Amino acid sequence: MSAGPVSTGSPAVPILQAPAGGVTVRMYRQGLGDCFLLAFPTADPAQSYYVMIDCGVVQNTPGGSDRLNDVAKHIKAATGNHIHLLVVTHRHWDHMAGFNRAGDVFGSIQIDNLWLPWLENLADPAAQQVWGKTGQALAALTAAIARAPTALSHVQDLLDNFFGETLGAAAATGAAASSPMANVIQLVKDPGKVGYRKPGEGPLALPATGGTGVPSVQVFVLGPPSDPKQLAQMDPSSGAGRETYLLQQGLEAQLAFSLGRLPMDNMSEEEGRLVDFSFPFDPHLQITRGEAENIKFFRQHYGFDDGAPASASPAGESAATTTAAGGAPASDAGSSPITGASGAPGPGKAVTETDVPTVADAPDWRRIDTDWTAGAEELALQIDNVINNTSLVLAFEFVKSHKVLFFAADAQVGNWLSWNGLTWKRPDGTTVSSADLLTATVLYKVGHHGSVNATVIKLADGTTPWGVGLMSSPDLVALLSADHVIGLEQSGVWHMPDDQVRDGLLKQTKGRVIRIDKGVPQPPAGGDPEVWQEFLRHIQPDPATIQPYPPGTPDPKYPQEGRRDAVTPQPLYIDFNVIE
Amino acid sequence: MSTSPPTPAIGGAPSAAHNKVVHELPLERPAFRRLKAYAFDPSLSQQLAHAAINEVTLKVPWEYDPKTGKDILTVGPVGEYLEVVDCDPASGCFYLPVDLNKPYLLANNGLSPAEGNPQFHQQMAYAVAMTTIMHFEHALGRRALWSPHRPEPAAPGDPCASQAGVAHQEWAYVPRLRIYPHGLREANAYYSPEKKALLFGYFPAYVGDVRSHLPSGMVFTCLSHDVVAHETTHALLDGMHRRFIEPTNPDVLAFHEAFADIVALFQHFSYTEVLCSQVAQTRGDLATENLLGQLAQEFGQATGLRGALRDALGGVNPQTNRWEPAVPDPTLIQTVIEPHARGSLLVAAIFRAFVAIYRMRSADLLRIATAGTGVLPAGELHPDLVNRLAAEAAKAAKHILNMCIRALDYCPPVDLTFGDYLRALITADYDLVRDDDLGYRLAVVEAFREYGIYPHDVRSLSVDSLLWQPSDPLSRHEPVLPGIAKMRQLIEPLALGADRAALHAQQEAACAMLHERLRQRVAELSGLGLNVDRLLRPDGQVSFEVHSVRPARRVGPDGQTLTDLVIEITQWRRGYFDPAIQDRADKADREKVVDPSLPPCDFRFRGGTTLLVEMHTGEVRYAVVKNVMSATRLAQQRAFRSGQAATSLRATYFSGLQEGKKEPFAFLHRFAAGEVSA
């Protein structure tokens, strides 16, 4: 899909100039994904300091790749080919696809520093453990999908969207070379300039390069948590790590087992043993599906899709198995009532009239061929959750006014709750807590595209305000990187943003929620016009425009979300200025 | 030439010389088939202290066709109620079905317990499930039916879409519940209302759990007595109340879980030999009722799947190092929402009532044994005393189990709460045993009160005010329901022993007949708790359903057995999360117009009534009402449903998957095992 006439890289793209005593936060509108460019003033009025946070879009976005290239070229031009600090919050495709799809463009930009969450430091044993388990889980999941591709198509979709071309690397474990972040890390020439940020660090100055520092701002690191249990927490109501696969002991056996991981050629002896043990009974007690299709009892009481003997089965290989098995269990049973009076019919032998099961005996709605895959769905959600929780969460604080820009990346419940209790000492000797930072937030980058479990308003006790529940500034503005229609188009039908999160944010910000899919927001009914005028003074959409993505399928279930405007060309980005 | 004396014919033709016909006495059909099973689960067989009691021989009915007299249990086992099909798709294989009619197996009470033999697994799942079914049938006095199969789920996306073409009577009879002993590769087991099947999972034991399981050895949920009984109960309950799987308030799913736990738990107490052995082993703690709780907890431990239940009953006090029952906390019911944890409060309440009843039943025995001092002598208890105490415990357990099951006939058809269930328990027991001389009902009310469980629509918690009432006292003596005589003809002959397919057909026919008559004469339904205006929608849609018509047995005041009809009628209106849209929809309904601008509804808001009708007089003895017009209930349900929908990542990514495809119990049970290893 053509992304339209963006005059990228040409002089038509103006250099992004930071406002004096403030910051410009530019939200690109590439679809369901994050890409932010922040411009801070430096001592040199002609030179801004650029912080770029993430660049990606979910894989199943028609034309998404072209759009990412447009964005990359635009950033290149707007920064004068120089990014001082790149922040990549976590290894999900909707936050880093740009570095793969537009790798050439980014490779040609000078990038001085890179910040990643501590989990991307593969020399860290705790990180190794997390990625090792995630990798195994992904490998098992991939194998499960291969066995039941139709039943698990929505899970495949999820994986594609979040890993894109890095799925193979993510499913592999160990060596740094195979890290999905490899393409990102190599963008910085000096490995010493890659910082793996840990919670509790700060206040950090933005790393100065060539004498350009940003005296007006300091950064606090809140997440990802250092406790793996908190990484795993996904459900607001459950305790840390309670319902997770990824933390259980004996996980390797558990996963190989529960997803019926297939024996593979390059399997180690150890892995082979695990797979062997994952069968509940000795091999001589197992009847293959092909053999079962020839056994009267199973034809009558279970039934098979085509109702025909094994030779007609689509794979053809099950018939071969039956032949090869020869005198194995099925024919041992001989003339027992189990297999039928004259033994099992051989492959290709016509089924006699009396053998044909009646519908009442073996209707297909009673079969359980794919019920086991529900476990795979659950596992996919848990993997997604863990990776979201590895998000690097940063609070940018203005030194003078203590106003905060809060970038929550895709942090989910466990990440949010882990900030509780973090405190820092500012250079001026004052103490600041995570609660203070949340309270002082004036700009909130909404967690995980507005999904239900990524905007926390209370602590686990259900009463103490936390997270967004503390954000009480009257000037609060939210940046929401959601594209509702693209979400609906996914085969599982994603629901982003969540209705309650959206409505809660609209209320708390008095309508000042800037969304990727909606552009400049409309004033809320009954709002204060002066407040709105003041808000609009801080907004500046791209004067040039791009063609929108093609219109989505309308969904009667979410009429309030409307549809993408199919006609009007859209600005590529929206700038929002925060003044210190 | 001398003739040799005729050789006596044994088993052959009678000798012609004697010209005498030898008759073989006809063999009496066995009443029971004896089948071995684990009393708990295989892990106990590996513990010296428990190995001896871990094998029980269950007596399940000898299944035969009453019409032809032929035996019907075949390989599988496949019988009248159950079909065990051992298909293991996750492992990509099948296991041969067991033939319980093989002579060796008949002579040996079936296969001996063995983890490595799938055919024993099939046998045990069959035996425990049958035992559970029999408990239900004995308590209810009629044969158990599974919930019928609905050919097509309601249109996805619009819960209120018309289901034209899927008339009530077209719902298909499901003769047998299917059991898949190895259907899943995970720490999970569930009843699938969609497939009318029990799916049991198996999984490697956690490494942390070496005490009772071989590390990475296999745990089979189908070999846990409690899990099988629990899941079978889900299916039986669904067969009676198929709307109880709709989570319309925090109690509904919790009740499903609690009830399944109650049946599994008290079924254990009915195995007297297990009880005796435990009582003897723990040397007399039965005097203090702690032992029962401790036992119940150990039962739970063995199953490995019910962490919440164990905690609810009590625990070892770290200071005294002695087991102590949990002190009931009446505030928990306000805050605990998760279905298992909430359900465990109900289980704990029922269990408390059971302990109180046991105490009353055994008081005299203890007085005799202690010569009135109340202090038992040191050392082991006299075996006779052990037997008697265990017998009392077993009897009390049987009574309370019967009470709990019978109460199901007295529940509202939709939107059940624990408070409703308390009223159902009391009323059902009142109908069966008029004189409460042993104080069962008092014990139940007291236990529920201690857990803060009570109905909100009664004036006091006395037994009298908890009894259900007829909704309109004036209609008591009127044969208010049309066609009661006809219905009597349809229903009356059906009881234990009748053909289940015929029973189903007749109940369906009674439903259809009643439905048709009600359609024509809706006005006659006033006074029964139904909203007459809402029985038919302005667009012509029928918005009510005769949910079931079934017989229920009770004992009259003079000791004679009487039969009531239990009639459940449900109705619904469109429910919206947005109160403004709700008002528009209600207005359109009130004015009997069709408003095409209304969006599809968010959910069906159901109401209805359960009527207990005296079969011969047509007198409505009780009407258990859930008002479809109730604004309070609608507001509560709206809050509950919207809270339910939006708490997980699942809601974010898989919101569009067809509702009908989801397994309500699968998700509830999944991964609960993680709690055990912790």
Q: Render pLDDT for B606-623 as a digit per residue (tens, 0 to 9).
A: 888 898 888 777 778 888
Residue-wise pLDDT for B206-247, tens only, equals 544 444 444 456 788 898 888 899 899 999 999 988 888 888
Nearest to A492 among B87, B180, B657 (CB): B657
Query: For residue B82, what is the enclosing H or E element?
Result: strand B82-84
- What pLDDT digit, counting tens, does each position of B12-71 carry? 454 555 677 888 888 889 999 999 998 877 776 666 666 667 788 999 999 988 778 889
Q: Is A60 on the interface with B (CB under 8 A)?
A: no
Please indicate if any CB of chain B lies within 8 Å of the CB of A412.
yes
Which range in A109-118, A265-274, B83-92 is most confidently predicted, on average pLDDT? Answer: A109-118
Over residues B637-666, the mean pLDDT reads 63
Residue A487 has pLDDT above 70, yes or no: yes
Test A488 with B656 for CB contact under 8 angstroms: yes
pLDDT at A366 over 70: yes
User: By CB neighbour count within 10 A (0-12 exposed, 13-18 middle, 19+ buried), where does A2 fall?
Assistant: exposed
**Who wins on pLDDT, B364 or A239?**
B364
Residue of A nearest to B193 (CA): A366
Chain A partners within 8 Å of B208 (Cβ): 249-250
Q: What pLDDT does residue B50 have?
A: 65
ipTM for the assembly: 0.83
Lowest mean pLDDT among A366-370, A460-464, B174-178: A460-464
Q: Which of A250, A367, A494 sits opposite B653 (nearest CB)?
A: A494
Please tell me the predicted confidence (pLDDT) of residue B498. 67
Cis before residue A224, ω within 30 degrees of 0? Answer: yes
Subunit contact B89:A285, Cβ cutoff 8 A? no
Compute the average pLDDT of residues B556-565. Answer: 76
Q: What token pair was written down for B192?
A: 């699938």
pLDDT bin (cut points 50, 70, 90) of residue B445 is: very high
Whether B561 and chain A come into contact, CB under 8 Å, resolves to no
B597: contact with A, CB 8 A cutoff = no
Whether the per-residue pLDDT at A329 is higher than 70: the answer is no
Give the DSSP per-residue string, A18-59: PPTTEEEEEEE-SSSS-EEEEEEE-SSTT-EEEEEEEE---S
Short-list B223, B264, B224, B225, CA closest to B119: B223
H or E element in which residue B669 lies: helix B664-669
**Partners of B623 in the beta sheet?**
B611
User: What is the reported pLDDT for A84?
Assistant: 96
Res B101: pLDDT = 94
Q: pLDDT-based confidence at A268, cuts 50/70/90?
A: low
| Close Cβ partners of B275 (under 8 Å, ≥ 6 residues apart) | B269, B295, B390, B393, B394
Of B94, B199, B656, the CB nearest to A371: B199
What mean pLDDT do residues B438-444 have? Answer: 90
**Range among A247-256, B120-129, B240-249, B480-489 rated most confident:** B120-129
- Complete DSSP assignment for B559-598: S-EEEEEEEEEEEEEEE-SSHHHHHHHHHHHHTT---TTP
Query: Closest chain B residue to A455 measured between Cα atoms?
Result: B647
Partners of B658 on chain A (C-beta within 8 Å) are: none
Q: Is B176 on the interface with A (CB under 8 A)?
A: no
- Chain A contact set for B651 (CB, 8 A): 452, 495, 498
pLDDT of residue B2: 45
Chain A contact for B368 (CB, 8 A cutoff): no
Of A304-308, B142-146, B278-282, B629-633, least confident by mean pLDDT is A304-308
Please check whether residue B674 touches A, CB under 8 A: yes
Interchain pair B600, A282: CB under 8 A: no
A73 versus A10: the higher-pLDDT residue is A73
Give residue A112's pLDDT: 95
- Long-range residue pairs from B203-207, CB within 8 A, at least 24 positions apart, any chain: B203/A254, B203/A257, B203/A258, B203/B673, B204/A250, B204/A253, B204/A254, B204/A257, B204/A277, B204/A278, B206/A248, B206/A249, B206/A250, B206/A254, B206/B673, B206/B676, B206/B677, B207/A249, B207/A250
- In 3D space, the residue among B222, B88, B220, B197 whose CA is nearest the CA of residue A287 turns out to be B88
pLDDT tens, A142-170?
A: 878 888 888 888 888 888 888 887 777 77
> Chains A and B: how many Cβ contacts under 8 Å?
212
- Note whether B224 and B257 are within 8 A (CB): no
Q: Does A141 touch chain B (CB under 8 A)?
A: no
Over residues A535-564, the pLDDT tens digits come to 999 998 888 777 766 655 544 444 445 445
Range of A33-37, A266-270, B439-443, B659-663 with top mean pLDDT: A33-37
pLDDT at B661 over 50: no
Best residue of A60, A262, A297, A322 to probe chain B, by most B CBs closer than 10 Å: A297
| Interchain CB contact of B76 with A (< 8 Å) | yes
By mean pLDDT, which of A156-160, B329-333, B591-595, B606-610 is the weakest? B591-595
pLDDT band at A336 (very low <50, low <70, confident <90, very high): very low
Residues of A in contact with B654 (CB under 8 A): 154, 377, 492-493
Residue B678 three-state SS: coil
Least confident of A316-320, A541-545, B294-298, B642-646: A316-320
- Residue B276's pLDDT band (boundaries 50, 70, 90)? confident
Confidence bin at A350 (pLDDT 50/70/90): very low
Task: Answer whether A286 touches B (CB < 8 Å).
Answer: yes
Rounded CA-CA distance A253/A274 in Å is: 6
pLDDT at residue B48, as a whole number: 64
CA distance A235 to B650: 10
Higher pLDDT, A292 or A356: A292
Chain A residues whose beta carbon lies within 8 Å of the beta carbon of residue B216: 250, 253, 277
Q: How far is CA B460 from CA A395, B445, B625, B632, in A?
A: 57, 11, 19, 21
Nearest neighbour of A338 by CB, restricted to B75, B215, B599: B75
Question: What does the pLDDT look like over B93-125, one tens digit per residue?
Answer: 899 999 999 999 999 999 999 989 999 999 999
Q: Given this model, what pLDDT does residue A242 score? A: 36
**pLDDT grade, residue A331 (50/70/90)?**
very low
A 346-365 residues with CB below 8 A of B?
Answer: 365
A385–chain B Cβ distance below 8 A for any pair: yes
Q: Whole-angstrom Cα distance, residue B357 to residue B352?
A: 9
Judging by DSSP bridges, how do beta strands A82-87 and A48-55 pair with one another?
parallel
User: What pLDDT does residue B203 have?
Assistant: 77
The contacts found for B423-428 with CB under 8 angstroms, 24 or more apart, are B423/B455, B423/B458, B423/B466, B423/B467, B423/B468, B423/B624, B424/B468, B424/B624, B426/B463, B426/B466, B426/B467, B427/B466, B427/B467, B427/B468, B427/B622, B428/B403
Q: Inspect the interface and report whether the beta carbons of A557 and B677 lie closer than 8 Å.
A: no
Nearest-Cα distance to chain A for B649, in Å, is 6
Instruction: Please answer yes or no on whether B96 and A498 come within 8 Å at the CB atom.
Output: no
Task: Indicate the residue of B94, B652, B670 with minimum beta-carbon distance to A498.
Answer: B652
User: Residue type for B389, please?
Assistant: L
Q: What is the pLDDT of residue B366?
A: 81
Q: Give the mean pLDDT of B364-383.
A: 79
Structure confidence at residue A342 as a pLDDT band (50, 70, 90): very low
Q: Do A368 and B674 touch (CB under 8 A)?
A: no
Q: Are A92 and A57 in contact (CB under 8 A)?
A: no
Q: Which amino acid is at A458?
A: K
Question: CB-side exposure of A51: number of CA atoms within 13 Å?
Answer: 27
* Nearest chain B Cα distance for residue A418, angstroms: 18
pLDDT at B148: 86
**Residue that wins the pLDDT comparison between A511 and A356:** A511
Question: Residue B189: its pLDDT value, please?
Answer: 86
Residue A576 banded pLDDT, cuts 50, 70, 90? very high
CB atoms within 10 A of CB A565: 13
Q: Average pLDDT in the B181-193 region?
A: 86
Q: Which residues of A164-202 are buried (b: 16+ CB within 10 A; e: fewer)?
A: bebbebbbbbeeeebbbbebbbebbeeeebbbbbbbebb
CA–CA separation, B382 vs A168, rounded Å? 70
Tokens of A15: 């250099």
Contact A248 B78 (CB under 8 A): no
Looking at the predicted structure, is the pLDDT value of residue B518 above 80? Answer: no
Mean pLDDT across A502-523: 90
**Residues in A touching B220 (Cβ below 8 Å):** 280
Residue A362: pLDDT over 90? no
pLDDT value of residue A188: 94
What digits encode the pLDDT tens for the residues A202-215? 899 999 877 778 99
Tell me the whole-structure pTM to 2 decimals: 0.80
Q: Are B97 and A282 in contact (CB < 8 Å)?
A: no
A234 chain-B contacts, CB cut-off 8 A:
648-649
Instruction: Compute the mean pLDDT over every residue in chain B, rounded to the nearest whole number.
Output: 78
Q: What is the DSSP letter of B76?
A: B
Q: Tokens 């909606």: give the residue.
A: A518
pLDDT (0 to 100) of residue B673: 33
| Rounded Cα–Cα distance for residues B458 and B612 (Å) | 19
Pairing of strands A217-223, A204-205: antiparallel
Shortest CB distance from A258 goes to which of B76, B185, B663?
B185
The pairing of strands A441-445 and A404-407 is: parallel
Residue B677 pLDDT exceeds 50: no
Comparing A340 with A380, which gets the higher pLDDT?
A380
- A304 in contact with B, Cβ within 8 Å: no
| Interface with chain B: mutation pick from A294, A452, A498, highest number of B CBs within 10 Å | A452
Query: CA of B222, closest CA in chain A: separation in Å?
Result: 12
- Mean confidence (pLDDT) of chain A: 78
Judged by CB atoms closer than 8 Å, whether chains meet at B89 and A495 is answered as no
- The pLDDT of B238-266, averaged and rounded, is 87
Summarize the confidence of residues A67-71 as an average pLDDT.
92
Q: Is B203 on the interface with A (CB under 8 A)?
A: yes
- Six-digit token string for B320: 């005294």
Contacts A257 to B, Cβ<8 Å: 185, 203-204
State the pLDDT confidence band at A318, using cuts at 50, 70 and 90.
very low
Residues within 8 A of B (CB atoms), A 474-533 only: 488, 490-496, 498-500
